[in-house]
C-alpha cells in the first residue's frame, strides 16, 4: 500500500502551522459519485462555497453490469481539486483539511500494491441479485435486520463480493484488500486503510447493533477480516495526514488532516445538519442518478423496506434510507426518447410509467424493465414524460412512508441535481402534499464532506459545524393538496404488474 500512514489518534505534522492561519482557512469536500467527482473549496468559518471543480467518470457495462475503474476516480479527484482551487483563486497553503464522500456499496478489490485487480462493481450493478437472494434465504431476513439493519439486495457490497467469489474466484482469491469507493480514495490520500460507520453499514458485513464487523457474517461470505479497513469512530475522525505523494498529485501541502470520510448519503445528511437540534427525524429526498429518502433518527431501523444505515456522526445516530435505482437519469432517458426537454412535462393523466430502466431496488425488482400503460389517443408526449416523473416520485414517497420516526408534517428537504429542476420539485409537491425546502447550498454531499474535513482539522462535531453554516436552510414552498388520484392509479398499476415485473427482463 501507499506509505505515509498516520495513526487515527494523532495529528499529522504541520497541522498547527496550517490550521492556525485563521484568516481565509479553507477545507475541501469531495463528492465522488457515480458519474463524476466534485471538489468544493469551502470557507471553514462560514461554509461558503468559493468554487467547485468537476471531473467526469466513466461507467461501463450492459445487461445489469455497471463498472468503473477506480484509477479514474483517483485521477478525477486530482483534476477536480485543481479546478476548484483555480476557480476560487485560492492559495493551496490555506487548505486545512480534506474529506471524501463516495458513492455507496461499490466493491473495490486491490492487489498488494494498492492497485485495482478489476473495475469496481458499482451500487447499481444488479448481477448480484441471485447472490443477495441466496444470502437472505440462508439466514432469514429478520436475522440480517437484527445484525446489520438491512436485508441483502443486489446493491449491497456483500452480495457483490459473493458474486465475485462465484464468478471470478481467481480475482477474489488474489485480493489483498477490499474497499468501498470512499475508502479507496481516503487510503490514496493518507496511506491509511480506514472506513467509517456510515458507509460501512451499507456493506451487510458491518453490524449496526455492535458497531463492528460481524465475524459470523464474514465467515458466511468467505471474507477475511484482514482484507478490510479499520472502522474509525466517525466520518469526521482523523484518518491521517496527506502523504507527500498525494500532496504532489493534488497540489496541496503535505501533512494536512484528512478525515475518514463517509458515503454520499451520510455526507448529504451532515451537510443538511440532520441530527442537530430541531432537525432530528426531519426527512430529506435526494434526486440524483438514484433517488433516496432518509432521516437522522435515534431509533435503530430494522425494516426490510429500508437500508438501516448508521449516520456518519459517531453519536449513535442512524440514517434509515429508502433507495430507488431510477431517478433523474431514467426520466432524462424517457425525455430523450420522446424528443422533449426534461422540463417539458405535464401531469400524466391516465398514463402510468414505471421507469425501471435499470431494474429496481425499491420495490425490490432487480430484473424489471420499464413499463408504460394507460395510453389513449389523446395522450400527449408531455403527459408521458410527466408520468415518468410521477412513477419515480411515487417510489420515493412509498419508501418515505416507511422511515421510522420521520415527522409526517415536516417539510421535505429536496437535494441532488433534480432539486434544481422545476418539474421534479412540482411533482414532489403535488404527490406528497408537503411543504418543500430547497436548500440554498446545492452541493450538499461535497459540503457535508467539507464539514467532516473541518471536524478532522479540529473544528468540532461535523453536524454542528454544518448546522452552524446553515447550509440546509433555503426557500420553503408551501404545501399543496396531494394528488390522490394519481397516487392511487400508480399504486393500482404497480400492484397488478408486480408479477410481470418480477420476471420481465430477467438476465
C-beta separation of 110 from 229 below 8 A: no
Catalytic residue annotation? 264
Q: What is the pTM of this model?
A: 0.86
The residue assigned the cell 398499476 is 493
pLDDT at 362: 83
Q: Are strands 95-102 and 262-263 parallel, antiparallel or unpaired?
A: parallel
Q: Which helix (H) or strand (E) holds 310?
A: strand 307-310
Q: Which helix (H) or strand (E) holds 178?
A: strand 177-179
- Mean pLDDT, residues 64-76 taken together: 97
| Eight-class DSSP state of 229 | P
Q: Has 105 been labeled as part of a binding site?
A: yes
The residue assigned the cell 415485473 is 501
The span from the CA of 207 to the CA of 215, in Å, is 10
- Mean pLDDT, residues 120-143 taken together: 96
- What is the Cα gyration radius of the chain? 22
- Listed in order, strand segments (DSSP E) in 64-112 are 67-68, 95-102, 108-110
Classify the C-alpha dihedral 149-318-444-354 as positive or negative: positive
Mean pLDDT of the chain: 91
Among 30-44, 292-306, 397-411, the range scoring the smallest mean pLDDT is: 397-411
The span from the CA of 188 to the CA of 311, in Å, is 24
Q: How far is CA 141 from CA 105, 198, 321, 386, in A?
A: 19, 21, 17, 36
The pLDDT tens digits for 425-456 are: 999 999 999 999 999 888 999 999 999 999 99
pLDDT at 23: 45
pLDDT at 26: 98
- Mean pLDDT, residues 175-181 taken together: 98
| Eight-class DSSP state of 243 | P
**Residue 26 β-bridge partners:** 43, 95
Q: How far is CA 166 from CA 66, 162, 484, in A?
A: 18, 6, 46
Q: Which helix (H) or strand (E) holds 292?
A: strand 291-294
- Mean pLDDT, residues 357-372 taken together: 87
Which domains can be identified in the chain, with CATH numbers?
26-265 (3.30.420.40)
Indicate whether 277 pLDDT > 70: no
C-beta separation of 160 from 128 below 8 A: yes
> CB-based burial of residue 496 (10 Å sphere; 0-12 exposed, 13-18 middle, 19+ buried)?
exposed
What confidence category does residue 11 fall into, taking pLDDT thresholds of 50, 70 and 90?
very low
Q: Has 35 been labeled as part of a binding site?
A: no
Amino acid at each position: 500500500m501507499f506509505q505515509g500512514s498516520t495513526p487515527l489518534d494523532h495529528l499529522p505534522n504541520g497541522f498547527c502551522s496550517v490550521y492556525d492561519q485563521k484568516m481565509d482557512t479553507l477545507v475541501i469536500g469531495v463528492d465522488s459519485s457515480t458519474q463524476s467527482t466534485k471538489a468544493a473549496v469551502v470557507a471553514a468559518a462560514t461554509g461558503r462555497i468559493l468554487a467547485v471543480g468537476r471531473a467526469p467518470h466513466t461507467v461501463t457495462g450492459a445487461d445489469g453490469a455497471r463498472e468503473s475503474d477506480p484509477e479514474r476516480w483517483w485521477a478525477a479527484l486530482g483534476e477536480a481539486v485543481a479546478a476548484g482551487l483555480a476557480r476560487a483563486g485560492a492559495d493551496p497553503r490555506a487548505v486545512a483539511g480534506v474529506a471524501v464522500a463516495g458513492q455507496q456499496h461499490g466493491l473495490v478489490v486491490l492487489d498488494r500494491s494498492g492497485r485495482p485487480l478489476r473495475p469496481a462493481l458499482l451500487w447499481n450493478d444488479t448481477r448480484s441479485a441471485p447472490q443477495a437472494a441466496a444470502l437472505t434465504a440462508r439466514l432469514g431476513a429478520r436475522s440480517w435486520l437484527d445484525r446489520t439493519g438491512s436485508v441483502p439486495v443486489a446493491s449491497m457490497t456483500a452480495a457483490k463480493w459473493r458474486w465475485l467469489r462465484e464468478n471470478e474466484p481467481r480475482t477474489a482469491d488474489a485480493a489483498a484488500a477490499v474497499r468501498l469507493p470512499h475508502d479507496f480514495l481516503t487510503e490514496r490520500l493518507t496511506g491509511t486503510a480506514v472506513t467509517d460507520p456510515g458507509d460501512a453499514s451499507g456493506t451487510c458485513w458491518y453490524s449496526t447493533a455492535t458497531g463492528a464487523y460481524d465475524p459470523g457474517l464474514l465467515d458466511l461470505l468467505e471474507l477475511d477480516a484482514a482484507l478490510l479497513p479499520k472502522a474509525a469512530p466517525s466520518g469526521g475522525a482523523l484518518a491521517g495526514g496527506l502523504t507527500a505523494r498525494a500532496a504532489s498529485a493534488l497540489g496541496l501541502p503535505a501533512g494536512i488532516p484528512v478525515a475518514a470520510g463517509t458515503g454520499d448519503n451520510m455526507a448529504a445528511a451532515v451537510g443538511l445538519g440532520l441530527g442537530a437540534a430541531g432537525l432530528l427525524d426531519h426527512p430529506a429526498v435526494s434526486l440524483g442518478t438514484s433517488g433516496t429518502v432518509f432521516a437522522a433518527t435515534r431509533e435503530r431501523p430494522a425494516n426490510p423496506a429500508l437500508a438501516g444505515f448508521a449516520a456518519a456522526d459517531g453519536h449513535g445516530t442512524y440514517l434509515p434510507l429508502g433507495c430507488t435505482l431510477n431517478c433523474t437519469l431514467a426520466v432524462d432517458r424517457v425525455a430523450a426518447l420522446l424528443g422533449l426537454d426534461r422540463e417539458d412535462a405535464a401531469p400524466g393523466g391516465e398514463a402510468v410509467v414505471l421507469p425501471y430502466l435499470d431494474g429496481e431496488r425499491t420495490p425490490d425488482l432487480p430484473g424489471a424493465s420499464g413499463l408504460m400503460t394507460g395510453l389513449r389517443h389523446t395522450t400527449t408526449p408531455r403527459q408521458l414524460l410527466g408520468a415518468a416523473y410521477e412513477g419515480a416520485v411515487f417510489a420515493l414517497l412509498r419508501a418515505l412512508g416507511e422511515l421510522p420516526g420521520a415527522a409526517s408534517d415536516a417539510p421535505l428537504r429536496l437535494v441532488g441535481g433534480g432539486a434544481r429542476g422545476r418539474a421534479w420539485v412540482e411533482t414532489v409537491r403535488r404527490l406528497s402534499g408537503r411543504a418543500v425546502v430547497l436548500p440554498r447550498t446545492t452541493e450538499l454531499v461535497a459540503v457535508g464532506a467539507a464539514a467532516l474535513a473541518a471536524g478532522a482539522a479540529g473544528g468540532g462535531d461535523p453536524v454542528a459545524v454544518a448546522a452552524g453554516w446553515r447550509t440546509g436552510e433555503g426557500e420553503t414552498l408551501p404545501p399543496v393538496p396531494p394528488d390522490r388520484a394519481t397516487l392511487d392509479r400508480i399504486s393500482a398499476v404497480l400492484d397488478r404488474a408486480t408479477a410481470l415485473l418480477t420476471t420481465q427482463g430477467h438476465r
